[in-house]
Structure 1
Amino acid sequence: MSGSGPSSPPPAGVATDGWDPGLLAVVDLVFGSPVAMAFLHGDRLRLIYNDAYGQLLGDRHPDAYGAPAAEVFGAVWDGPAGAAVREAHHTGFAPRDPEWPSTDEGEPDPALPSRGLSAVRDGTGRIAGVLVVAVEPVPVAHRLQGLSELAESLAGTLTLDEVARVALGYGLSFPDVHQVAFGVDDGDDWRVVRRVRGEVLDDADERLPPVWRRIAADSVSPLAVAAGAGLARFTADGHPLRESALDRHDQKVRALGALPLRTPSLRGALTVGRHDQYPWSPAERALLTAAAKLVAQAAERARRFENQHGTAQLLQRSMLPENLPDDPRFRLAARYDPGVDGNAAGGDFYDAFALPGGRLAVVLGDVAGHDVRAAALMGQVRAALRALALTDPEPTSVLTGLDRLVASLGEEARTDELFVTVAYAVIERDGLLTVATAGHPPPLIRHAGGGADYLDVPVGTPLGLGGARRSAAARLEPGSTLLLFSDGVVERRGLDLGAGLEKVAATVGAANGGDPRSLCAVACAAVGGTTDDDVAVLAVEHATAPSRSAGMEIPAEPTAPGRVRHWMSAQLAAWNVPEQVIGAAVLCASELATNALLHAGTAARVQVDLSAERLLVAVSDTGTRGAVTRAHAETLSSRGRGLGLIEELSDAWGTDPAVRGSTVWFEIGIRASNAA
């Protein structure tokens, strides 16, 4: 390495193939820094260092490269300095001993200080070595520790929202940085998110998605320029954001670092800005460059995950009904949540459709597996069931026909591993139920006055295994709700199936009201814990009186929340809804409309449904970024308040995925005497 510049590569004898990206970034930092630095790697703490550190080693260089620290430092390694390094490697924390160790001649060894040590973790969080900065002020040593923590945090990210949140948080961990921006390519333009120190932004709640905005591909902003050219640029003093400033925060920036994010399938940039004049030191430039490499790798991984996840979920949901029947006597709602592996399509399905004579058919089934084959079989079973039911809706006839279909498909595929369970019911106009199941959890009825009981229905064998099919009759009284659900609702590792069924029945029976959308959410959360299976619930409430419904389309423009407020106020007042309910509902609906505008970026729809017991408001978007988890206010200064508002002003709320986009809803209870 002697005679080479600070960016010298490792000698040929040092193999870094297959190393964790975080460790490679640390090595790049070492070789890119003019400051004397060494990375002591692995269980034996083998030295990887730059030219400046080699000069401190003197005659021990270049033989020290790749050698264990104990061999390189000899007696010093057994003293306080070696103990400090070993402690950092073992515990992850460096001691703050100001003394410099001495060799056996009594002179200090500048190559092994007891300060400027930082444990380095790999992508799994395991300590993989110790970074030694032989001559560097304490603040930079602290930032090196932050680089290790950045790698650890990025290792757990799955989506671009999560990568953005971690990257922005890292940038603001520098005490004098006032704003950070993160952007990636999005079609022909860039998608950018920014955080400003002291503003109430996405850190108001860790579950709050960042607010993204789009900028043109040919924008003159330093972020777009760095992303497009793939070159870093550091401005020590001036007004680097003047020509592209959004607001006063951009106008105040004087010093700016713009780092490109480049991988084979992603382009982007990360910028950090300060309000003061600041000459970026070589060490800080190298540090930020290493951080940008970590962020770029995480962003590429997240984009790949999102693409796979979106394809699988679109396949899954495109085979489910896009809308449930609109029947004044029966209110319906459904919920589908994918299992832990969001990259795989599953086999859970539900359906509800009108039958001749004013009857209603409802079904929920489960095809074993989490792959395209399971999803395809699910689509065949659902289509065949509807065709059979429209010909002869009697449950035993339908399940007998489906049994023959699944058996035939198994013979065609030359496999006996096709496994399908289903619960199917026909509901008459007066609430009379006829139900049959095939290896499926029994339907649950939540009674009008509270409490819930499972229907006594013959279980039957799963479809494709033959056997007699039998049905049972029951009655769904006005005010009662029927729930069909998949085994993902009740099955958990280490939990008996019977115990899971009991928890669902007890939780649903104790719920405040029988509204189907609310009960779907209650049933999904009843057992607790995580499941590897998909979760599907279909609920049907026998209404005590017809509800009143109305809806409006929300344009994808900034005026949308105001239009929603005006329309809802007029509509609810016309229905004689109490003023206090109108005020709460309008405020919450405005939050959800803003949420759809910010995060889906598409037109949306507001739907209100008023019964004697409650007001239900739902906002559905058609975006493709996944389910929205929290609502937002209209301006950046007030973002973060949506969660508290909806939880405070509503009796229940939740988010449901749809074929495209998601639906966020809330309910407010109403006394029967107060609504006309």
Structure 2
Amino acid sequence: MARAVVRAVSASPTAQAGGQVEEDPAHRTAAGLLASHPWHTTPLGVPGGWDPALRATIELIMGSPVAMSLAYGDAYTLIYNDAFATILGGKHPAAFGRPAADVFEEAWATPGVGDVVDRVYRTGEPFREAETAVALVRSPAGEPEQAVFTRGCSVVRDSQGRTIGVLTVATETTEATSRLQSLGELTGALAGAVTLDDVARVALRYGLSAFDVDHMTFGVDDASGWRVVRRVRGELLDEADERLPPLWRRLPLDSPSPLAKAAGSGTAAFTEDGTPLREVAADRHDQRQRAMAAIPLSTHSLRGALTFGRRHAHLWLPAERAQLTAAADLIGQAAERARRFETQHGTAQLLQRSMLPEHLPNLDRFRVAARYDPGIDGSAAGGDFYDAFVLPEGRLAIVLGDVAGHDMHAAALMGQVRAALRALALANPDPVVVLDGLDKLVGMLGTGTRSHELFVTVAYGLLDQRDGGLTIASAGHPAPLIRHASAEGQLATVGYLDVPTGTPLGLGGAHRAMTTALSPGDTILLFSDGVIERRRRELDDGLAALAKSVAEAVSGDPRNLCALATSAVAGATEDDVAVLAVEYASTPSRSATMNVPPEPTMPGRVRQWMKVQLSAWDVPEAVIGAAVLCTSELTTNALLHAGTAARVHIDLTPERLLVSVQDSGTRGTVTRAHTDTLSSRGRGLGLIEELSDAWGTDPTVRGSTVWFEILLSEDRENP
């Protein structure tokens, strides 16, 4: 119901245009008001522009049986559900969408009312109160009456982490405030949970703390079985663990576990004293559980369950059962939303990345790396693209372009431009000729679709493998950045190429090329405007920040520079980000690759392979020790969290050693044997940060690549 209402908000002509709504009983419900309110006249603005986290919070409020309200923005515009409407009495429905200070004008200045909302909004610190007496006027002509509430307030943040409002959970009872507060905190935390991994983290953390249980599991349906993750009281978790994906395992559909039975039947089950996990116990933690509550997650498109276990006999009282059910409802809605997001996100990213080159050229003198990060919420395909390919006569073509928009049309146009560029380059690689041909193509596409809003920029260049010669032209694209080789210990010099800007494609303008040359050790960086543009900041500030970050990089390695470039400018960007870097190597590098199957003995084999390979290349012993330890940790994490084969690649130059570990990211197929053997659980990330000179992660279509770089200095050769 809540999802349908939120969709109706965007579709409602009244919500968009502010038209009058005929009074009928449906419009007195919170759902009806949400769909019909003239939001464009409020600080929330047109619903089509609402942040994903705001939509998620409203979905949770509307779907909750507990009285909840959201005070949005500096004006504290009220959005609430039907349960909260009963508290308001005669103030409803006029209170919906109005500033809270106006709705509660008779009590807002009372200590403990408006000041609490202000404090939570400003500081982000949650608030809870077991009892508070407030004088409210509940009818238009009535006298103030004392109302006693139990309430909890939590801050709500948008997808960029900015505070956007205060969530209040309230009821006119004297129930334990901690339970209400925990529901409010759970709702606030779930509003920012985008993926199933996020939902699992929130649910497990909430369950252990709010119910004081010893054992909790969260599971959802997954193809022919159940996908389950567990948390045990006393389990040591550090910051790195929280950043890494939870460790999922699989159960068959007909598993006798309480979670599978509750999820499959949709019926809650409570064991007060017994051995509920006797048939499925995986370890001593499972064996110790005597009392257990199994609560199904019931949604339209997802099945799952939560289990809460205790080591001692426990009587599950009605109030606790009600809270468990309310928590399960909230978690189920968040899990359904997360699965929908992951499906949309996966489709969009698969489309986006399928239009980008799967592999970049691997050349003796040119080292090439690229990175693409989606903007907005990552669920829509964008128009940024990069490419690098070797022409028949031996030169390396490098391309970075930007098609305005974040939709299927932008992605489709991007694919056409990239394919056409390759075809034109094969016929005549001259940058001016290629851009002029693309200009005609984009102009024709605009005419054919009757669109005059096509905006496409491209930077296209040719690099000569023999001498580093560069010929490059631009169609309205930001100028590339060059990082010049520097002596050890000195700050590198950087500068933007003075490329004739040219006009964006499709406008019929002229394009000119410039010619220069890279020196051995130089790196050229092409980037989209999402790297340097931020709201309410000058473009020159972004250009300066990017140049500073690249100059301070420990090396000119292209993978490192791509990672640095995407985070060089402070603040969040709503645009896609694409970066392509090419280093003109001083000398050819040596490289080796090992494919690692998901077997418990593989980290040891990787360590042995690394020692043999690096020793054969005469790498200093100090570097070998650090590299082997870091690679072992990354391999362990890849096998734990992906559950599929990993790929270890090492690349050695006279200046540095680069190691990357790539997984395919399908997660959840690691057996218990793997889990018992691979026990480092992510704590190696701190170790890698300590032992390496630079490290980072690169997203891929499936899974991710984690890499680190160790510089080869005299200090390491002679420790």
Which TM-score tier does this pair reach, normalised by the shorter chain?
A: 0.7 to 0.9
Paired position in structure 1 for 2:522: 480
- The farther-off stretch of 433-442 and 591-600 is 591-600
Paired position in structure 2 for 1:575: 617
- 1:452 counterpart (488, 494, 497): 494
Distance across 1 between alignment mates of 2:394 and 2:676: 44
Paired position in structure 1 for 2:546: 504
Task: Note closer, same or farther for the CA distance 1:468–1:195 as it changes in structure 2 (3 Å cut).
Answer: same
Task: Write the letter of the residue equivalent to 1:208.
Answer: L
Give the TM-score taking structure 1 as reference length: 0.83
Paired position in structure 2 for 1:601: 643
8 Å CA contact 1:616–1:665 kept in 2: the answer is: yes
Task: Write the letter of the residue equivalent to 1:27.
Answer: P
8 Å CA contact 1:29–1:290 kept in 2: the answer is: no
- 2:469 counterpart (432, 453, 456): 432
What do the CA deviations read for 1:44-90 (whole angstroms, capped 9, x no partner)?
A: 9347xxxxxxxxxxxxxxx9x99x9xxxxxxxxx99xx998999889
Task: Note closer, same or farther for the CA distance 1:558–1:510 as it changes in structure 2 (3 Å cut).
Answer: same
- 1:555 counterpart (594, 597, 604): 597
RMSD: 3.5
What do the CA deviations read for 1:386-421 (whole angstroms, capped 9, x no partner)?
A: 111112111111111111111111121122221111
8 Å CA contact 1:202–1:210 kept in 2: the answer is: no
Distance across 2 between alignment mates of 1:94 and 1:201: 27
Distance across 2 between alignment mates of 1:592 and 1:636: 11
- Structure 2: state its 5+ residue gaps: 1-24, 35-57, 69-80, 96-105, 121-126, 136-144, 157-163, 487-491, 669-673
- 2:65 counterpart (5, 18, 27): 27
8 Å CA contact 1:89–1:127 kept in 2: the answer is: no
Distance across 2 between alignment mates of 1:413 and 1:308: 26
Residue 586 (structure 1) shift: 1.5
Paired position in structure 1 for 2:345: 309
Task: Write the letter of the residue equivalent to 2:515.
Answer: A
Distance across 1 between alignment mates of 2:357 and 2:538: 32
1:333 and 2:369 aligned: yes
8 Å CA contact 2:664–2:704 kept in 1: the answer is: yes
1:651 and 2:693 aligned: yes
Task: Note closer, same or farther for the CA distance 1:229–1:604 as it changes in structure 2 (3 Å cut).
Answer: same
- 2:172 counterpart (132, 141, 151): 132
- 2:187 counterpart (134, 140, 151): 151
SS in 2 for 1:653: strand
1:257 and 2:293 aligned: yes
What do the CA deviations read for 1:526-567 (whole angstroms, capped 9, x no partner)?
A: 112111111111111111111000001111333332222222
8 Å CA contact 2:67–2:171 kept in 1: the answer is: no
Task: Write the letter of the residue equivalent to 1:439.
Answer: G
Residue 22 (structure 1) shift: 4.5
8 Å CA contact 1:591–1:633 kept in 2: the answer is: no
Paired residues for 1:146-225 under 5 Å: 146-174=182-210, 176-201=212-237, 205-225=241-261
Paired position in structure 1 for 2:151: 118
Residue 597 (structure 1) shift: 1.8
8 Å CA contact 2:600–2:678 kept in 1: the answer is: no
8 Å CA contact 1:561–1:594 kept in 2: the answer is: yes
Paired position in structure 2 for 1:293: 329
Distance across 2 between alignment mates of 1:29 and 1:44: 8
SS in 2 for 1:210: coil
Structure label with greater radius of gyration: 1
8 Å CA contact 1:633–1:641 kept in 2: the answer is: no
What do the CA deviations read for 1:649-670 (whole angstroms, capped 9, x no partner)?
A: 1111111122433221111111
Task: Write the letter of the residue equivalent to 1:425.
Answer: G
- 2:570 counterpart (528, 532, 550): 528
Distance across 2 between alignment mates of 1:97 and 1:520: 54
What do the CA deviations read for 1:584-640 (whole angstroms, capped 9, x no partner)?
A: 1122212222222222232221110000111111112223689xxxxx998676424
Task: Write the letter of the residue equivalent to 2:181.
Answer: Q
SS in 1 for 2:587: coil
Residue 155 (structure 1) shift: 1.6
Paired position in structure 2 for 1:349: 385
Residue 383 (structure 1) shift: 1.0
Paired residues for 1:73-92 under 5 Å: none
Distance across 1 between alignment mates of 2:355 and 2:284: 49
Task: Note closer, same or farther for the CA distance 1:300–1:399 as it changes in structure 2 (3 Å cut).
Answer: same
SS in 2 for 1:513: coil
Paired position in structure 2 for 1:3: none
Residue 173 (structure 1) shift: 0.9
What do the CA deviations read for 1:421-480 (whole angstroms, capped 9, x no partner)?
A: 111111112101111111001111100011111111111001111122211011100011
SS in 1 for 2:350: helix
8 Å CA contact 1:259–1:269 kept in 2: the answer is: yes
Distance across 2 between alignment mates of 1:625 and 1:417: 42
Distance across 2 between alignment mates of 1:85 and 1:44: 19
8 Å CA contact 1:40–1:129 kept in 2: the answer is: no
Residue 255 (structure 1) shift: 0.8
Task: Write the letter of the residue equivalent to 1:188.
Answer: S
